[in-house]
Amino acid sequence: MWFSLWRQTLDLISAARCRACSGPIEPGVADFCERCQGQLALPEGGLQGDQPLLWCALAPYAGSLRALLLRQRPKVDPALITALGIRLHTCCASTLSGALVVPVPSWKRAGNPLPLLVAQALVAASGGAAELAPALLWRTRPTLGQHHLGRSLRRSNLHKAFAALACRDAAPRPLWLVDDILTTGATACAAAEALATAGHAVQGLLALARTPAPGRHRVPAVI
C-alpha cells in the first residue's frame, strides 16, 4: 500500500502531466495545468462548515470538479485522487497534527476506493503528523445506495450501520473521518456516532467536495 502511494506521489513530481487532462505542465509547479485549474476553480483554503458536523472540503460538488469525480466511478485514477488529496491537505494541515485519519468504509468488498485513497494522500502529505487508521471503523450490514434517497431515508438507511473498535487511550487522539463527497452528512454522522460511542474523539469530516445546500452560498475559509 505505502509503496503504491509512494510511486503515485513520485509520479506526480516527475510525470509533468496535468492530472485532469494529461496535458503538459511545468514539473514541480502544480498538479493541474492552468486551464484545468481555472475550470476546477478550487477556492483558496477550501470550504468549511459545522453542519451537520464540522467539515472541510476542497470545493462545492458542482461544475468541473463534479464531472471530474464522476469520471472516477467506472475507473479510478489513483494519481488524480492523490493530487486532490494533497491539495485538500493544504486546507486542513493544522488540524491533522497528531490526529487519526479514518476513511469511511463501504459495505461491499469492492466498494468506493476514493475515501481510502484520499486518506492515504492526507497522511502522506502530513509527513508523519497524522496516522492512517482504517481498521477502527467498519460496516455492520449492507445499506441501500444513497443517491436517490431523501434526508430522512438516508438517516434510517444508515442507522447502526457502522461499528468501531473501542478506544483504549486515556486521552483519545483527535480523529478525522474522510470521504469523497459530503451531501446530507447522514453517512458521516452515522460513522461519527459509532466512533464516539467507542470512545474516540471525532473532530469532523474531510472531503474532496461538498454538495451545495439549495439557495446557500458558502464562503471559502481556512478550517
pLDDT digits (tens, 9 = 90+) for 25-75: 877 667 888 899 889 989 999 999 999 999 999 999 999 999 999 999 889
Q: Which CATH code of 1.10.1760, 1.10.3470, 3.40.50, 3.40.1390 fits the domain covering 43-210?
A: 3.40.50
Q: N- to C-terminal Cα distance for the chain? A: 29
Instruction: Calculate mean pLDDT across residues 163-178.
Output: 96
Q: pLDDT band at 219, cuts 50/70/90? A: very low
Could you list the beta-strand ranges (E) of 7-63: 47-49, 55-60
pLDDT at 222: 38
The percentage of the chain sitting over the pLDDT mark of 90, rounded to a whole number, equals 60
Within 10 angstroms of residue 102's Cβ, the number of other Cβ atoms is 27
pLDDT at 217: 43
Q: pLDDT band at 126, cuts 50/70/90? A: very high
Q: Is the pLDDT of residue 83 over 70?
A: yes
* H and E: helices and strands count for the chain: 7, 8
Within 10 angstroms of residue 208's Cβ, the number of other Cβ atoms is 27
pLDDT at 106: 85
Cis upstream peptide for 134 (omega within 30°): no
pLDDT at 188: 94
At 159, the amino acid letter reads H
Residues 6+ apart with CB under 8 A from 8: 78, 79, 82
The percentage of the chain sitting over the pLDDT mark of 70, rounded to a whole number, equals 78
Instruction: Calculate mean pLDDT across residues 82-87.
Output: 95
Domain ranges of the chain: 43-210
Tens digit of pLDDT for each residue in 173-218?
A: 999 999 999 998 889 999 999 999 999 999 999 999 999 876 544 4
Q: What is the rounded CA–CA span in Å between residue 9 and residue 32?
A: 14
pTM, 2 dp: 0.83
